[in-house]
Amino acid sequence: MSSRLLPNIIITGTPGCGKTSHASQLAQQCPELTHINVSEFAKANNCIEGVDESRDTSIVDEDKLLDALEPLADKGGLIIDWHCCEIFPERWIDLVIVLTCDNTVLYDRLEKRGYKQSKISENVECEIMQVLLTEAKENYDENIVIQLPSENVDALDENVDRVTQWFDNWKSDHPEGVSNDY
């Protein structure tokens, strides 16, 4: 029976919602946690199986990705930063943060990144339909899924402070850690 002394957190949301900014700032405030940008991790660990030209994005081999992440997740202390969450086993995850953003703000952010109009439209539509929030609630216990707005620096700071408090409470509530087993 294996256990971990630190929680694993997913920060997810539509591209442009601030996942990486949140994860980076959280890792700075909670140095016990390690930020894993899944897109970079997948490239560095040979988990890319191709390119989707129409979407201008890499195709991740999810099985390879999970195999590469499992030893890290079993130790705990991860902030997993990616645009989807449903592939990660529920037993790994203690908190799922779904960042949301006003569509106008999101559109402007994606446009500044140089996204094609089709990619901007697809992502804004995904945000409007709350696809990632629905995905999180369907794949994890709703008690560990929180939705946080991410439209400006003040929201970023407030969100990171809130998650830092959650992290401190989690450690206090689980001094012996939690089991990695079902």
- 25: its two tokens: 């700032």
Is residue 179 assigned to a domain?
no
Is residue 129 assigned to a domain?
yes
Annotated binding-site residues for ATP read 16, 18-21, 113
Of the candidates 59, 23, 26, 65, the residue with the CA atom closest to the CA atom of residue 47: 65
Q: Assign residue 23 the CATH number of its domain.
A: 3.40.50.300
Number of domains in the chain: 1
Of the candidates 65, 72, 68, the residue with the CA atom closest to the CA atom of residue 87: 65
Is residue 174 assigned to a domain?
no
Annotated binding-site residues read 16, 18-21, 113
Mean pLDDT computed over 5-34: 97
- 110: its two tokens: 């994606």
The model carries a pTM of 0.93
Is residue 147 assigned to a domain?
yes
- For the four alpha carbons of 149, 104, 25 and 153, in that order, the dihedral sign comes to negative
Range of the structural domain that residue 37 is part of: 3-162
pLDDT (tens digit per residue) in 102-121: 999 999 999 999 999 999 99
Is residue 171 assigned to a domain?
no
Per-residue confidence (pLDDT) for residue 182, from 0 to 100: 64
Angle, in degrees to the nearest 10, between helices 131-139 and 117-128: 50
Mean pLDDT computed over 149-177: 96
Strands 57-60 and 178-179: unpaired
**CA distances (Å), 74 to each of 58, 70, 123, in order?**
26, 6, 32
- Confidence band for 55, pLDDT divided at 50, 70 and 90: confident
Q: Is 49 helix (H, G, I), strand (E, B) or coil?
A: strand
Is residue 66 assigned to a domain?
yes
* 2 has a pLDDT exceeding 80: no
- 74: its two tokens: 């079993």
Is residue 130 assigned to a domain?
yes
Is residue 170 assigned to a domain?
no
